[in-house]
Amino acid sequence: MFEFEKLTVYTKAKSFNKEVNTFLTTRTLDSTTHHQLRRASFSIMLNIAEGSGRSTNKDKRHFFVMSRGSTFECVAIFDYLKDIGALSAEDYSKYYQLLDELSRMLYGMMKSLNK
């Protein structure tokens, strides 16, 4: 088993990515928004995996920062989708809570690497 597979944040990011893929198969979105959301959600888990394989704290932190940035990107996309009526307030809240949890976990990881 690879180290990243043991991380709760990775498991949650992978689960979120699956949810996004299900969401995308049930909605008709413009291709730019569709692809950007797909890429950003996938990037969260991929950067966690890549960062966990780095040998220095500075390198690990860089990838966790990138992962957190992709988390913010997903929040912005869902906010946009809510504003244009492509996402209900209830669904927005569900995704927002998942992303908030990921963001907090990633921040904790980043902060622990500053020591």
pLDDT for residue 1: 87
Domain boundaries, the chain: 10-112
Residue with structure tokens 């908030």? 100
pLDDT digits (tens, 9 = 90+) for 63-104: 999 999 999 999 999 999 999 999 999 999 999 999 999 999
Residue with structure tokens 């780095």? 54
What are the tokens at 41?
A: 């959600």
Inter-residue contact 106 to 9 (CB < 8 Å): yes
According to CATH, the topology of domain 10-112 is de novo design (two linked rop proteins) (1.20.1440)
pLDDT digits (tens, 9 = 90+) for 30-71: 999 999 999 999 999 999 999 999 999 999 999 999 999 999
